[in-house]
């Protein structure tokens, strides 16, 4: 039996159509990865294509890793020659070899969002930009959008002048200065990785021809998420042989805010008139009812490719639709349902996902889960690499790797404290600017900086240390280098001396960074400091979601893309929340709401076995009670698929016009499982009765979730006491006594 016999007819067509441009419209759960991997095997085994000439591009490291693993298992010998990578990783590899052809050194630094923010702050100071009027974040967003569309600083400035738009002209000034700063620092931001590769290909035919010959067969996953720059990159690579296979689903295009251009997939046949279009419409993930609900919703979009998903799976349960008076009741229902499902043995905690439109919606679920001892994890919290101690140590590594990275140098010059004052640093920076050299090169010549005097003596030990580490780096390896930095700087010793739980947590993070470095070294044939820093820079947030762990996942709908769960809760399904108020009142509401509807479609199709949709008539927003109608997306689901009717009784007030500070009416938490009692005040907004505390500052206390700790402060907050506790393992927490239910031990 052939490996291709397990495929359905449409999947086979996707596998066997290898020459020329191919568009595979792959509906949710239709086995697109299966098609891509089998297509790769077919090219090698049946068509005799050298694996070296095959390229597969994905968006996340996780997706690339999974595809690599599946291709290796299917193809076996020779699969290591296939180029499986993300867009950004691909561009990094190309630029490391050839970026010197467009004026950069090949040891360039990759700036993350925080690095870019620091650069922008400096630029705004330099150009006397009023940051109250021109927010740094919005300036960076404008630059990023321009790069997504391959608009250079020069073209941006020209458009601003032609439009007579003062704000755009100011943005163009900043954009030009920002790019000059990056070039001076021999640095690229994430957007530049794509832009500079396109620039390289367009200006150097020799390099382009090399990669066109290398990548004769190109496959792109999640094509609906590509932006204009990524489309251009792929178009250039595929121009010679035209063997381009793109796989995607226009109904799951939900990243417009990140620059995704849905017209890349909608107009594929226009760009490639000879293209063959194949539709994968059989779903292997969800029940018939879930799928029919998704079809019912997405059919209301006009800007889409016609397709209807179907499945051989059972009909399954109806969609559990629940309307509540308050958002508190909604959170309570979700918690009780999870507890009931796990207690009965039908589900584990890890089988559940709670999806919502905005991050702010997580609070009520978190509070309710804590009081119910439900283990949970929020996807999209503070990234490991964004923690202070990690950024500090990475800045050391960056400085050792590339001294031209001013941001990294300035971050660590006083970590640990070396007594180098701000005035001294300003003098060095000014002199570096006058001389046209990097900040670090100026530090190396500190004795020559005018009016620096004895301050240069404080700089010398830092420079000597970096130089010593540089000489050692090629010899001792990255992990040993990191250990020496930690030892020589006394970074961990300072934290140990501090002795707080927070300090201990920071030490654990550092230990984890060391583990990361060692894992990198073990996985690479030729590990390098540059290679490690690249790997760190390219890690995506979603890649941090662990598999196989038993906890409920809380996440936004955007974060849920590409994932699936046995049971899914779609919470907050109200007009004004989902679709968002901003989309309803947008300049082009039709387009905006279609994007929101695609997001709803993504949410519905995450569910394998059961889907629950919840909404509330009242929800607290900015301290005020907001009255909302049931989401139009719920009303688009055929009524026979829902477990309950949509009650038509709506508040007299409009969805957005009525605002009041009236608290929602208290409701009882009926059917609460024994042992999971909760103070209803938390969820009703009713005033808590303040009672005298049986513990004080210095006492040891226990908490149901955070464990044991020491009381550090008690403040009278009027209606309740605010208590600060240093927990042994969870760190320092502030909480209201009525909510915390601390017990003296």
Q: Report the catalytic residues.
A: 32-33, 221-222, 252, 606
Q: Are strands 565-570 and 109-111 parallel, antiparallel or unpaired?
A: unpaired
CA distances from 226 to 87, 279, 446, 534 (A): 10, 19, 47, 22
The tokens describing 458, both together, are 């404080």
The tokens describing 500, both together, are 């707080």
Nearest Cα neighbor of 415 from 362, 449, 481, 466 is 466
The tokens describing 24, both together, are 């595979």
* End-to-end Cα distance, the chain: 67
Going along 520-564, which residue ranges are E strands?
Answer: 552-556
CA distances from 234 to 198, 212, 241, 264 (A): 9, 10, 12, 11
The CA distance from 629 to 300, in Å, is 19
Going along 559-718, which residue ranges are E strands?
Answer: 565-570, 607-621, 624-627, 659-660, 700-703, 707-716
Nearest Cα neighbor of 109 from 538, 534, 541 is 534
The residues pairing with 713 across neighbouring beta strands, listed in sequence order, are 724
The CA distance from 134 to 353, in Å, is 38
Nearest Cα neighbor of 603 from 418, 356, 373 is 356
The tokens describing 81, both together, are 């020659």
CA distances from 489 to 9, 87, 411, 412 (A): 63, 37, 14, 10
Do residues 16 and 2 touch, judged by C-beta distance below 8 A?
no
Give the helix, strand, coil percentages of the chain, each rounded to 5: 50, 15, 35
Tell me the three state secondary structure of residue 267: coil
Element (H, E) at 217: strand 217-220
Do residues 566 and 609 touch, judged by C-beta distance below 8 A?
yes
Location of structure tokens 């007594």:
419
Do residues 606 and 294 touch, judged by C-beta distance below 8 A?
no
């Amino acid at each position: 039996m052939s490996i291709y016999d397990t495929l359905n007819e449409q999947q086979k067509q996707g596998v066997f159509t290898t020459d020329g441009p191919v568009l595979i419209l792959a509906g949710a759960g239709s086995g697109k990865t299966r098609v891509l991997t089998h297509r790769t095997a077919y090219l090698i085994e049946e068509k005799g294509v050298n694996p070296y000439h095959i390229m597969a591009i994905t968006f996340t490291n996780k997706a690339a890793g999974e595809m690599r693993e599946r291709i290796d298992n299917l193809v076996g010998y020779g699969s290591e020659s296939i180029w499986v990578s993300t867009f950004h990783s691909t561009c990094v590899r190309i630029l490391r070899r050839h970026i010197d052809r467009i004026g950069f050194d090949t040891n360039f630094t990759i700036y993350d969002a925080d690095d870019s923010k620091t650069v922008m702050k400096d630029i705004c100071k330099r150009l006397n930009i009023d940051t109250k009027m021109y927010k740094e974040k919005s300036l960076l967003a404008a630059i990023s959008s321009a790069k997504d569309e391959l608009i250079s600083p020069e073209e941006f400035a020209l458009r601003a002048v032609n439009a007579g738009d003062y704000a755009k002209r100011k943005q163009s000034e900043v954009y030009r200065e920002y790019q000059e700063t990056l070039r001076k620092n021999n640095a690229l931001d994430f957007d530049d990785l794509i832009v500079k590769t396109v620039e390289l290909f367009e200006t150097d035919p020799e390099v382009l021809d090399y990669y066109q010959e290398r990548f004769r067969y190109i496959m792109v996953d999640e094509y609906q998420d590509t932006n204009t720059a990524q489309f251009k990159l792929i178009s250039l690579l595929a121009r010679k042989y035209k063997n381009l296979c793109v796989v995607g689903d226009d109904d799951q295009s939900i990243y417009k805010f990140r620059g995704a251009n849905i017209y890349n997939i909608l107009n594929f046949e226009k760009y490639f008139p000879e293209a063959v279009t194949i539709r994968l419409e059989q779903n292997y993930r969800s029940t018939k009812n879930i799928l029919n609900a998704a079809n019912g919703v997405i059919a209301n979009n006009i800007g889409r490719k016609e397709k209807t998903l179907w499945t051989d799976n059972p009909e399954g349960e109806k969609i559990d639709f629940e309307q509540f008076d308050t958002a508190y009741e909604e959170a309570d229902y979700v918690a009780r349902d999870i507890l009931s499902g796990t207690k009965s043995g039908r589900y584990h905690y890890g089988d559940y996902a709670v999806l919502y439109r905005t991050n702010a919606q997580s609070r009520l679920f978190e509070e309710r889960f804590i009081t119910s001892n439900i283990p949970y994890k929020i996807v999209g919290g503070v990234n490991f690499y964004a923690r202070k101690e990690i950024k500090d140590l990475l800045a050391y590594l960056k400085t050792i790797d590339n001294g031209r990275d001013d941001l990294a140098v300035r971050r660590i010059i006083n970590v640990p404290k070396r007594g180098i004052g701000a005035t001294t640093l300003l003098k060095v920076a000014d002199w570096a600017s006058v001389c046209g050299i990097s900040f670090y090169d100026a530090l190396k010549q500190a004795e020559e900086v005018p009016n620096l005097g004895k301050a240069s003596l404080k700089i010398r030990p830092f420079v000597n240390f970096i130089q010593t580490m540089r000489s050692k780096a090629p010899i001792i390896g990255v992990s040993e280098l990191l250990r020496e930095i930690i030892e020589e700087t006394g970074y961990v010793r300072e934290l140990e001396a501090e002795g707080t739980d927070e300090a201990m947590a920071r030490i654990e993070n550092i230990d984890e960074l060391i583990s990361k470095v060692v894992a990198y070294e073990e996985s690479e044939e030729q590990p390098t400091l540059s290679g490690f820093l690249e790997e760190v820079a390219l890690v995506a947030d979603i890649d941090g979601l662990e598999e196989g762990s038993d906890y409920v996942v809380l996440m936004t709908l955007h974060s849920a893309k590409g994932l699936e769960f046995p049971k899914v809760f779609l919470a907050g399904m109200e007009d004004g929340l989902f679709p968002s108020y901003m989309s309803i009142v947008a300049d082009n509401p039709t387009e905006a709401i279609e994007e929101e509807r695609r997001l709803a479609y993504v949410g519905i199709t995450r569910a394998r076995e059961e889907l629950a949709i919840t909404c509330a008539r009242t929800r607290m927003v900015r301290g005020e009670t907001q009255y909302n109608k049931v989401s139009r997306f719920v009303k688009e689901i055929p009524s026979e698929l829902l477990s309950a009717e949509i009650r038509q009784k709506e508040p007299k007030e409009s969805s957005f016009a009525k605002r009041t500070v009236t608290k929602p009416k208290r409701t009882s938490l009926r059917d609460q499982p024994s042992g999971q009692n909760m103070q209803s005040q938390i969820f009703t907004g009713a005033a808590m009765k303040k009672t005298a505390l049986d513990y004080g500052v210095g006492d040891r206390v226990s908490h149901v979730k955070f464990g044991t700790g020491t009381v550090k402060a008690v403040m009278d907050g009027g209606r309740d006491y605010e208590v600060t506790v240093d927990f042994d393992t969870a760190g320092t927490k502030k909480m209201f006594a009525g909510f915390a239910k601390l017990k003296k031990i």
